[in-house]
């Protein structure tokens, strides 16, 4: 039989290298469970900001820094007394992966203006999504996070 002693550390007691390792390991395991809801809420805000009302809104996104990535939204919309339907097509999730249908009689300038707003909203949703995925807590923020959650660490930065 062998007995070993393990020394347990608080985050602030770790070396700078071990602190950085702990932060990176944390984000390796992060699955961003609130991202779909957050992006949908942000889309709702942007639609409201542009006086676009909606029914049955759904946000699609793919944020892997690969070709075909981006964000878009679909549903039933009303804007400037026009009914607009947006449907997803294909396997990608970006602003060009939809068909936009306007009421019969919608003038071309209105269609162009709406498509411009649509593209802008899609771009902002994509940018916000990448911002969330790219965010990393600073050492001070992660220290507070560790204290609030009573996390303890091994010398190399692994969670105990």
Instruction: For residue 142, tell me if it sits in a domain.
Output: no
Residue 10 within a domain: no
* Measured distance CA(84)–CA(136) in Å, rounded: 39
Token pair in block for residue 48: 């409201």
Over the stretch 131-152, which tens digit does the pLDDT of each residue have?
999 999 999 999 999 999 999 9
Provide the whole-model pTM.
0.84
Q: Is residue 99 part of a domain?
A: yes
Establish if 115 belongs to a structural domain. Answer: yes
Residue 127 within any structural domain of the chain: yes
In terms of residue numbers, what domain contains 76? 35-134
pLDDT band at 30 (very low <50, low <70, confident <90, very high): confident
Domain membership of residue 48 (yes or no) is yes
Per the structure, the count of domains in the chain is: 1
Residue 21 lies in a domain: no
The pairs formed by 103-111 with CB atoms below 8 angstroms and a separation of 24 or more are 106/82, 110/80, 110/82
Task: Summarize pLDDT for 78-120 with one digit per residue, the tens.
Answer: 999 999 999 999 889 999 999 999 999 999 999 999 999 999 9
For the chain, the straight-line distance linking the first and the last C-alpha, in angstroms and rounded, comes to 23
What mean pLDDT comes out for the span 12-37? Answer: 93
Question: Do the domain assignments include residue 122?
Answer: yes
């Amino acid at each position: 039989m062998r007995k070993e002693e393990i020394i347990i550390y608080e985050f602030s007691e770790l070396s700078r290298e071990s602190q950085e390792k702990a932060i990176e390991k944390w984000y390796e395991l992060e699955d961003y469970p609130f991202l779909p809801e957050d992006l949908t809420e942000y889309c709702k805000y942007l639609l409201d900001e542009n006086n676009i009302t909606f029914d049955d809104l759904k946000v699609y996104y793919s944020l892997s820094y690969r070709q075909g990535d981006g964000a878009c939204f679909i549903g039933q919309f009303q804007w400037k007394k026009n009914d607009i339907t947006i449907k997803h097509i294909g396997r990608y999730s970006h602003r060009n992966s939809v068909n936009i249908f306007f009421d019969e009689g919608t003038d071309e300038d209105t269609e162009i203006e709406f498509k411009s707003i649509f593209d802008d909203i899609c771009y902002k949703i994509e940018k916000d999504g990448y911002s969330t995925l790219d965010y990393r807590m600073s050492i001070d923020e992660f220290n507070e996070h560790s204290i609030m959650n009573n996390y303890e660490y091994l010398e190399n930065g692994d969670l105990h």
